[in-house]
Structure formats: C-alpha cells, structure tokens
Amino acid sequence: MRVRIGRSDARGSVRVPGSKSYTIRAALCAGMAVGESVIAGALRSDDTAAVLDCLSRLGVGVREVDGTLRVRGGVLQCAGDPLWCRESGATFRFMAALAATMPGVTRLRCAPSLARRPMQPLLDALRRLGAAADFDVLTGTLVVRGERRRFGHAVIRGDVSSQFLSALLLTGPRYDDGLRIELSSPLVSERYAAMTIECMRRFGAEVVVSDGGYVYEAGGPYRPTRYVVEGDWSGAAAFLALGAACGEVAAVELHPDSLQADAAMIDLLERMGAVVECEAGQVTVCRSSLVACDARLSEAIDLLPVVCALGAVARGTTVLTGIARARDKESDRVAAMAEGLAHLGVPVDVTENEMQIRGGMAHGGEVSSAGDHRIAMAFGVIGAAVGDVVIDGAECVSKTYPSFWQTLSDLGVEVMPDE
C-alpha cells in the first residue's frame, strides 16, 4: 500500500488508542490470574491480537463484551501447535518466559523481522531457571521445555532490552516461594520495567526493588481485577508532532505524569519551541517556528523516528544521541530514517550512536516505511509539513495503530492512495 501525503493544515482532536505496552502486560497478568478479569480501553492492533491469540491457545478464555476484553485465566496448558507471535517483540519474549514455567514443550514462532532482534540474554536466564530453550533464528522458531519450580533465581543483562527483565518479572507469581532477578549490567528503559511492576501490582503482585535486583516474594497467584488501559504515548507522539509542525492538535486520554517512556515527548516539543498545553487527560500542541535541539533518546528510543521528522522541518541541526538500540527494532530505524530523509532533501550524518539532522530543507519525494509502523507515521508528519511525500508500505501501521491514516485524514491532512 502506498499513500501520498499533501501539505496540510492539521486541526482537531484525536482520542488516542490504549497503550500497547500496558495492554500486553495486562493481558498476561489476567491470563495467569485465577478467574475473570476485565480490561477496558485495550488497544486493538496486530501486536495485541498476537498476545491474545497466544493466550487463547494456552487455554485462557478471551472474549470482547461491550468494547471491553474479558479474560478468564488460571490453569495453563501447552499448545500442540506453535504459538504465532507475529512481529510483537513483547509477546514473543513474555510468552517465552511464561512457557518456561509450564510443564511440557511449547513452540513459539515469530516473523523474520523479529527473529533477528536480540533474544540470547533471555534464553540464558530461562536456562538458569531450569528450562530448556532452543532458538532457530533462520525459521524464527523457539522451543521451550518448561517446568514448575517453587523458587527461581536468575541473573540477566539489563543493557540490551528491558523486555527481558519484564518477561521474567511477569512470571513471578508462577513461583510459589518467589523469584529473584539480578542484573549483570545497568538497565536501559527503566520506565518500561516500572510499567511492568505497576501493572503487576494492579493484579495483586508486589515486586520489591533494591540495589541487589528485583524480588517477587511468595504471595500467591495473580488476582483477577478490572483494569483500565491508559492512552498510548507512543501512538500519540506522531499527532503531537503534527500539531507542532502543521496546526493545532489535541490528544485526549493522555496523562503527562504517565510512566510510559514516550511521555518525554512533551519535553522534546517544548525544547524545540512548540506551544504545549497540558490539562487533565489532554495534551494540546500548536504550530510554532520549530528550532533544533540536542536530545538523548536512550530511555525513549521509540521516539527516534518522530523526533527525526521534527528535526527535518526545524531550523538548525538536531543532534540525537543514545540511538544505537533503534537499530534492533522492527527495522534498523537509524538507517531507515537516514535513507528516507535523504530522499526528501534532508542532510543527515550518522555514527553508531548519533544522528545529526540539518533541518529546514525538506521537500517532497518517495520514501519506504521499511515495514516499520513508527517510520511510516514519522514520514506522514513530514508529508503534512512539506507536501507531496509518497510512503511505500504504509499498511504497516496496523501493527499498533490500524486507523492511523484515517485519523490523520480526519485532522485535515491530505491522505491519498498512490497507485
């Protein structure tokens, strides 16, 4: 699918979908809880469909009633056929840790783009916990032979992905006498781990954080609950950038004090000169003369594409550091953004951990999404700002925001299919 974005004046409000990260975490907790949980505001997307499908295959009851998810968890059983995790890194990693606590053999499969992403630190930790775990990168197939243990103790690297820690933490209540996790290196994206701990607490599981690591003390299984998923800052970031570059956009169902790492978007917008107003549950961004900034993105790495888009239309040279982990996402986001920006006349200098974007010279052209939802959204913002930008592979937004192009159109952006 190709779309052509015309130069536009974007105005209006958008109700952002629920957080992908919280939806997946809540689904896992509910699936392990004995009884029925209600999850309101859950995101509907390819990634969340992946985790719900996997849980269903393990014997969890999943149904939608009046716009909410009802998840009946409890006794989990290994599935006969492989669990299809699609392109969802969180689903693949979280389900692997869950499989390690289930007696028997579980097979998981993932898309090729996910198979090339880091997995070894988690596999090493699962083996320390007594599971057998073998991953065939060429086929994207992971085979886990798990067992129930009363107590678990694992050491894991923290400098590759916080999802490894979150995966282990989420299974804490599966260990009757508790689980202790130590980090062998500093943790990146700490806020995602904090989100995991907050979600677990809502389902009745307490994690103790200390200098020595993370401990889930014996406290029984998860308890079913009613959980409300807050709005997704990652999905909202493109619309907030759109307001800064092209008009005035209000995003509702957003909480500025959220634990979500991408709430850092507020600070980035203000530093680039955008007018930002925060009210209860709503963030409004108005167009202004944007200026370049220096930003370290290591703790909010998913913002890289949209900050690149802002840098392309701002005056001066935007310098982004702490970007190395963006190379291991759905695409090599550093390379994909650098190549696309070059096609739009934006000079970009790249090193392993830094990008310099010289803004103010962007023009129309054709770019590739690289099959990456965040890349497609970012180029959509540039298209609205400069006009005549064709995005190839635009359908990839279905991973986290299936209605993205329609929402962009509803805000007044010219979105046309390009044959």
Q: What is the pLDDT of residues 269-299, one digit of tens each?
A: 999 999 999 988 899 999 989 999 999 999 9
pLDDT value of position 413 = 95
pLDDT value of position 373 = 94
DSSP state of 80: S
DSSP line for 277-306: EEETTEEEEE----B--EEE-TTSGGGHHH
pLDDT value of position 367 = 97
369 and 350 assigned to the same domain = yes
Angle at 285 between CA 280 and CA 286, to 5 degrees: 135
Q: Which tokens hold the place of 15?
A: 């109700």
Domain of 195, in residue numbers: 20-228
**Rounded to 5 degrees, what are φ and ψ at 183?**
-100, 135
**Domain edge (last residue) among 206, 228, 250:** 228
What average pLDDT score do residues 195-203 get? 97
Whether 219 shows a pLDDT value over 80: the answer reads: no
For the segment 47-83, what is each residue's pLDDT rounded down to a tens digit?
999 999 999 999 999 998 888 999 999 889 998 899 9
DSSP line for 151-205: -EEEEE-SSS-HHHHHHHHHTGGGSTT-EEEEESSPPSSHHHHHHHHHHHHHTT-
Residue scoring higher pLDDT (149 or 106) = 106
Spatial strand order in the sheet of 354-358? 294-296, 317-321, 354-358, 348-351
Instruction: Give the H or E element holding residue 317.
Output: strand 317-321
208 and 299 assigned to the same domain = no
pLDDT value of position 80 = 86
CATH number at residue 187: 3.65.10.10
C-alpha distances in Å from residue 82, one per residue of 45, 116, 171, 379 = 21, 19, 20, 35
248 and 281 assigned to the same domain = yes
The answer for residues whose C-beta is within 8 angstroms of residue 15's C-beta and 6 or more apart is 231, 251, 252, 253
pLDDT value of position 210 = 82
Q: Binning pLDDT at 50, 70 and 90, where does residue 253 land?
A: confident
| Residues 23 and 408 sit within 8 Å (Cβ to Cβ) | no
Amino acid at 211: D
Amino acid at 379: F
Nearest to 357 by CA among 288, 283, 295: 295
DSSP line for 372-388: -HHHHHHHHHHHHHHS-
Nearest to 37 by CA among 72, 84, 64, 82: 72
pLDDT value of position 218 = 77
What average pLDDT score do residues 212-238 get? 91
DSSP line for 109-125: E--HHHHTS--HHHHHH
195 and 250 assigned to the same domain = no
156 and 27 assigned to the same domain = yes
**Domain edge (last residue) among 187, 210, 228:** 228
Rounded Cα gap, residues 217 and 43, in angstroms: 31
395 and 319 assigned to the same domain = yes
255 and 333 assigned to the same domain = yes
217 and 93 assigned to the same domain = yes
DSSP state of 231: B
187 and 297 assigned to the same domain = no
| Residues 339 and 362 sit within 8 Å (Cβ to Cβ) | no
- What is the percentage of the chain residues whose pLDDT exceeds 90? 86
For the segment 373-385, what is each residue's pLDDT rounded down to a tens digit?
999 999 999 999 9
pLDDT value of position 113 = 87
Amino acid at 241: A
The total of structural domains in the chain comes to 2
316 and 255 assigned to the same domain = yes
State the catalytic residues. 302
What average pLDDT score do residues 405-410 get? 95
**Domain edge (last residue) among 195, 228, 261:** 228
241 and 362 assigned to the same domain = yes
128 and 253 assigned to the same domain = no
For the segment 317-334, what is each residue's pLDDT rounded down to a tens digit?
999 999 999 998 888 999
Mean pLDDT score across all residues of the chain: 94
